[in-house]
Chains A and B, each alone.
Chain A
């Protein structure tokens, strides 16, 4: 099957989430299954209140507990898949380390990679065994060997289960590996901080090591040339203007210092005081480059004057924040970085939000209705921006939206959710061409089409059911035009009707199992 070849980045398996409220237990998620493949955009659509955002929040572990509770299920993140491509990748990385400078026998990095490889191979072997067993005739899921193999597999995978991780670990994941864009940028940005502060915060939280290395490079360079730390040079542009190397500001004539960032152009010698200060700060950054969370650093950050060592790191973070703003195509990032959220337009705010989310180049970007609050022209820009960024960084996007037009535009695959269950999963082309689940059909019929003239759009009768007392069996049965007897009794399992196209509906069961 084709999907096996692609690398699964995030796999959500049998996720059950409840909310314990005064009205009763809201069964918000009832066994959600889907996976996100590296580099793809997965759309999650459905009516309001069908659990799209809850799913996203479960992945981030941002469900408020109480009232919420993730009852059971697994969310595997960056787990080994055992595919040949993955094993080859790890092999290439091992060679890379071995060929790189400073390699010694018994290098910890190689050991780690070899461990990864071993695990990946094991997962591959177990998966192959399960596949061969389940496809063989006379297969019984209670078979001792089968149970044992799946237990072994689960044991390995459980190490990658986000739901069993500590809160501390999740904090490291959030923002760095999985980040999120919210629906309304005006409420999702903190009104008392400048845009640069908010982007820099993410970088300062997760990439201290990189920042420290950059600062060390700068300090060493300025010591070597015996020039001031904030020294900058200018380069001539094609038009004969001068460009500041530290901030990119343009000047018509030569000046002693940059009017924009204040960096001095004359090669000022490193004065005694500054030199001492830099040597003093250098120690901290040296520690930080090794262990960004060292206790000594945390104490130093509380002592007056000593804490100023952080200034260089913060400047570095601001520089990277500015780069991020350029990356999200904000014109005039110099000014925008210093503006407060209320001074920016909705589209700009959403760009800042995206810059924040992408600041650490996450593996997964969860976009919770990123364009709903924006006007149509800006929507298109933002979607294009997200797609461009995805191409540049290879991030997978989980896009939550009601807008099927958006889905058709940007997504590779699509999951249709209804009342806390997955109704249909498949590639966008397949689902739009041939929707299988009655709910998907209803959704697609309720949007106007340019090519077909209808006087009245179809609707899906009724409302999303109250999830305190969800309908028995298939949750869609009260609204389904094709309801059968079995629909009220048995919950339909996910069935692969065509390769890569899954449907949970009894209509398609006859040809298969029974």
Chain B
């Protein structure tokens, strides 16, 4: 058995021992399966626009109504369909934003930390500018600038772009700090002593060693990005109404948060409109948070053995 596999098995063993991490993993896997199987779980009426929820323009129906397991929402949009396809949307957004932001952050942070001097100064001041503005407000501003589109995918791209732009600065800071401490290690000097080039030392020797805290941060952030994206949708930035996006769907039900409302004299409480998408947001975010916590314990070399 090669050491690599042995290490991995040991990591999995540690994972198995941590119940919470397993619960998190199960939640994450559940959402991923839902997203992958979306076309089978809920067949889109128009395959070219799967992100638009089909509606029957009737009154909201409670869960269990015929053909609508989770009921219908405003304009009779199928909640179940929205929740299932919303899983895809969320994973798209989360992965894209976090990975692109991580790549930008790693490259800028590593270069700033390793080369130091005016390069560091310049890159970090740019980072500071981004950090000085509240992330959500900045993201809102960027979405507002970008052209709006009735197409859910197009507007989703706006959200992804905006979030990526506000998401990389903390990563750059994190990696820079790591690089600053790791570049003092003797093995970096040893790499210099065998004649490695500067970029090779940085990206082959320093960066891989500084990725562990990043990995934990990324895992946790996947959940947070979904939360923020949902928040943006909730306050009306981003996807148009009737799109399969959890935040948007919760927003559709925001009139009924308070409980029973009277509409033309009829008592009315369609809780399912916001509970089901909210529940999925909860599962997704909680899952990645628990997983990230578990990973932190597993990857920490001090707690490892």
Contacts and interface: CB of A to CB of B under 8 A. Distances in A.
Interface of A: 60, 62, 170-176, 179-180, 182, 184, 187-192, 194, 201-202, 205-206, 338-340, 343, 353, 356-357
A60 B190 CA distance: 11
A362 to B, nearest CB: 10
B300 interface: no
B205 interface: yes
Interface in B119-143: none
A190 B193 contact: no
A190 B191 contact: yes
A188 B186 contact: yes
Interface in B153-212: 185-187, 189-197, 204-205, 208-209
Given A179-B193, A182-B186, A343 B208 contact: no
Contact of A190 (B2, B7, B192, B209): B209
B187 A205 contact: no
Contact of A175 (B187, B194, B209): B194
Interface of B: 2-4, 7, 185-187, 189-197, 204-205, 208-209
Contacts of B209: 190-192
Given A192-B208, A201-B204, A356-B190, 14 more contacts: A62-B192, A173-B195, A174-B192, A174-B193, A175-B196, A182-B186, A182-B189, A187-B186, A188-B189, A201-B194, A202-B195, A205-B196, A343-B3, A356-B194
Can you list the 10 inter-chain pairs with the closest CB atoms, starting with the nearest? A175-B194, A175-B195, A174-B195, A187-B186, A180-B193, A190-B187, A188-B186, A188-B190, A171-B195, A202-B194
B193 A62 contact: yes
Contacts of B208: 192
A356 B194 CA distance: 8
A13 B209 CA distance: 39
Contacts of A191: 187, 209
A351 B60 CA distance: 74
Contacts of B195: 170-176, 202, 205-206
Nearest to B187: A190
Contact of A60 (B3, B4, B193): B193
27 contacts: A62-B193, A170-B195, A171-B196, A174-B194, A175-B193, A176-B195, A179-B194, A180-B190, A182-B186, A182-B193, A187-B186, A187-B187, A190-B190, A190-B205, A191-B187, A194-B3, A201-B194, A201-B204, A202-B195, A205-B194, A338-B2, A339-B3, A340-B3, A340-B7, A343-B3, A353-B190, A357-B194
A357 B292 CA distance: 40
Contacts of A180: 190, 193
A395 to B, nearest CB: 15
Nearest to A205: B195
Contacts of A192: 208-209
Contacts of A176: 195
Most B CB atoms within 10 A — which of A171, A189, A338? A171
A26 to B, nearest CB: 19
A11 B295 CA distance: 53
A102 B196 CA distance: 35
A353 B4 CA distance: 21
